[in-house]
Amino acid sequence: MSKTNSLQLLAEYGDDGQSSDDDVPGPRVSTKRTFKEDTFNTRLLVPDSIKKLKVNQAWIDVPADHQGRLRTFEHERGNWATFAYINYEGHEGIRHLIESIINSVPVVSMNEVDDFHISLTKTVILKHHWIFPFVNSLKEKIIHHKRFVAAFGDLKVYCNEEKSRTFIGLEIVNGYNRLLSLVKDFDNCLAEFQLPQFYDDPSFHMSILWCVGDMEAKLNEYMPLLNKRLHDIMEDYLNENWCVLANCIYWTTFMLSGRHDAERVQRRHFLQIASSRTINLAEKPQSKRHLLLKNDRHREKRHVKGSAHTSHLTI
C-alpha cells in the first residue's frame, strides 16, 4: 500500500463516527477502553434466587406450629428468653396422675408439660451480651442459700397473665418460705437489668398439664374429683418422691431462629446450692394428711416411720 493511500485511510478513520476530538485543543488521546476496564464496568445480572430473598423479614407467629400456643413476645435477633427454675424428675406415679386427669376431663383438650419444674422467675428477655453478667449476678445471690425439700399438696388451676393458657399443677405446701427467699434474691438480680420481677404473692407450683385459652372456671369444677384421684394415687405410690429436692437452680436461655420449635437454639445452665448436711429422700410424708399440711402451709414435716425405700444424697 502506498504512503498516500495510508494517509487517506487514517484521515477517513479520524473523520468516521461522532468523535469531537478535533474540537478539543491539545494532543489527541485515544478513547479506546482496555479489556480490564470492560470487565469491571460490565454490570452483572442479579440471580433470581437472590431476588427472591426477603431482607429483614418480620417474624410471624403461627400458633399451629406449637400446639396452639401464643407467643407473648416477638423473637428478635440478639434477644434471648430466659427463666430460672428448680428441676423435677417425674416418676410412674406422676405419669399415672396425668393419665387419670386427661381421662377425667374429656371436655378440655389437655397437653402434658414438656419439662417438670418450679419457676422462680418470669420468662424475661436478655440481650446476648447480658447473659454472662446475668449468670454471675445469680451466682452471687445464691451463695448464702442452703438446699431444702419442698413437698407437693393439692392440685390447683393456674392461668397465665395473658389468659392464653391454663395449667393444672401441684401446689407447693412446705418449703414455701425457702422458695420465697430465693425469689426475692433473684428479683434483686432482675432489677439490676431492669427486667420484670416475679409475682408479689407467688403460688409456687409445678405444672403438669396445660390447655389453650382461659379454662380456669371450667377446670375448677373438676378439682374435687381430681384431688380425690391424686390422694388415691399418692397412697398407691407411697414410695415415690412426692417432693422436690432443691439442690440446683437451673436457668435456660433460648432463641427461636424461625417459626418452628425444632429450630430452637437453647442453652441450659445450673448452679448448685450449698449445704453441709445429708438429706434423706425417704423423709417424705407417709400419708396424704402429712402431705397436705392443712394446719400450717409453711411447716416442714420430713420424718416418717416404716419407709421401705431409702435413698441418700450428700449435698
Residues annotated as part of the active site: 117, 205
DSSP string over 172-229: EEESHHHHHHHHHHHHHHHHHTT-----SS---EEEEEEEES--HHHHHTTHHHHHHH
Cell 393458657: give the residue: 165
Handedness of CA 211, 216, 222, 224 (dihedral sign): positive
| Contact criterion met (CB below 8 Å) for 162 and 123 | no
User: 52, exposed or middle or buried, with CB in 10 Å at 0-12, 13-18, 19+?
Assistant: exposed
Q: Are 313 and 283 in contact (CB under 8 A)?
A: no
Beta strands at 264-272 and 205-212: parallel, antiparallel or unpaired: unpaired
CA 111 to CA 98: how far, in whole Å?
A: 9
- Residue 144: closest CA among 278, 243, 252, 276: 276
